[in-house]
Amino acid sequence: MNLLAVSSSGYRSAVLGPSLLALAAIALTACEPQSSPAARGPVPVVVQQVETRTIPVVTSRVAQTESSRQVEVVARVSGFLESINYREGGMVEAGDVMFEMDRKPFKAQLDMAQGEVEASLARLATAEANLERTRPLAAADALSQADLDRAVGEQQAAEAAVYTARARLRQAELNLDYATIRSPVTGMAGAAEQREGTFLNAQGASANLAYVAQLDPIWVNFSVSQNEAARREARVRSGLYVSPENERYTVEVVLAGGRVFAHEGVLDFADPSYDRRTGTFTVRAVVPNPDLELRPGMFVTARLKGARRPNAIVVPQRAVQKSAEGHVVWLVNAQGAAEVRPVVAGDWVGEDWLIEQGLSGGETLIVDGFQRLAPGFPVQAVPALPTDAAAGE
The number of domains in the chain is 3
Indicate whether 329 and 381 sit together in one domain. Answer: yes
- Arithmetic mean of pLDDT over the chain: 87
What pLDDT does 86 receive? 96
Instruction: Summarize pLDDT for 13-51 with one digit per residue, the tens.
Output: 333 344 333 333 333 334 444 445 555 678 999 999 999
What pLDDT does 347 receive? 82
In which band, very low, low, confident or very high, does the pLDDT at 96 lie, cut at 50, 70 and 90? Answer: very high
Indicate whether 219 and 300 sit together in one domain. Answer: yes
Does pLDDT of 181 surpass 80?
Answer: yes
Please report how many Cα atoms fall inside a 13 Å half-sphere around the Cα of residue 52, on the Cβ side. Answer: 11
Backbone angles phi, psi at 77, to 5 degrees: -135, 160
For residue 198, is it within any domain?
A: no
As a whole number, mean pLDDT of residues 349-366 equals: 89
Instruction: Summarize pLDDT for 273-324 with one digit per residue, the tens.
Output: 999 999 999 999 999 999 999 999 999 999 999 999 999 999 999 999 988 8
More confident residue, 7 or 363: 363
In which band, very low, low, confident or very high, does the pLDDT at 388 lie, cut at 50, 70 and 90? Answer: very low
Indicate whether 288 and 321 sit together in one domain. Answer: no
What pLDDT does 178 receive? 96
Does pLDDT of 269 surpass 80?
Answer: yes
Contact between 373 and 62 under an 8 Å Cβ cutoff? The reply is: no
Beta strand spans in 226-371 (E): 250-254, 265-270, 280-287, 299-316, 321-323, 326-332, 338-349, 352-357, 364-368
Indicate whether 164 and 116 sit together in one domain. Answer: yes
As a whole number, mean pLDDT of residues 77-96 equals: 96
Alpha-carbon distance 219 to 224, whole Å?
16
CATH code, 325: 2.40.420.20
Percent of the residues in the chain that have a pLDDT greater than 90, as a whole number = 69
Q: Which amino acid is at 15?
A: V
More confident residue, 12 or 337: 337
What pLDDT does 138 receive? 87
What pLDDT does 26 receive? 34
Instruction: Summarize pLDDT for 128-172 with one digit per residue, the tens.
Output: 999 999 999 988 888 889 988 999 999 999 999 999 999 999 999
Domain extent for 151: 103-178
Give Cβ neighbours of residue 107 (< 8 Å, ≥ 6 apart). 176
CATH code, 128: 1.10.287
Give Cβ neighbours of residue 337 (< 8 Å, ≥ 6 apart). 37, 375, 376, 377, 378, 379
Alpha-carbon distance 352 to 96, whole Å?
53
In which band, very low, low, confident or very high, does the pLDDT at 8 lie, cut at 50, 70 and 90? Answer: very low
What pLDDT does 13 receive? 39
Indicate whether 250 and 291 sit together in one domain. Answer: yes
Indicate whether 328 and 296 sit together in one domain. Answer: no
Whole-model pTM: value is 0.71
Contact between 123 and 111 under an 8 Å Cβ cutoff? The reply is: no
What pLDDT does 1 receive? 37
Indicate whether 222 and 297 sit together in one domain. Answer: yes
Indicate whether 369 and 315 sit together in one domain. Answer: yes
For residue 170, is it within any domain?
A: yes
What pLDDT does 40 receive? 62
**CB-based burial label for 287 (10 Å; 0-12, 13-18, 19+):** buried
Indicate whether 305 and 315 sit together in one domain. Answer: no
As a whole number, mean pLDDT of residues 212-237 equals: 93
Percent of the residues in the chain that have a pLDDT greater than 70, as a whole number = 88
Indicate whether 223 and 275 sit together in one domain. Answer: yes
Does pLDDT of 54 surpass 80?
Answer: yes
CATH code, 285: 2.40.30.170
For residue 284, is it within any domain?
A: yes
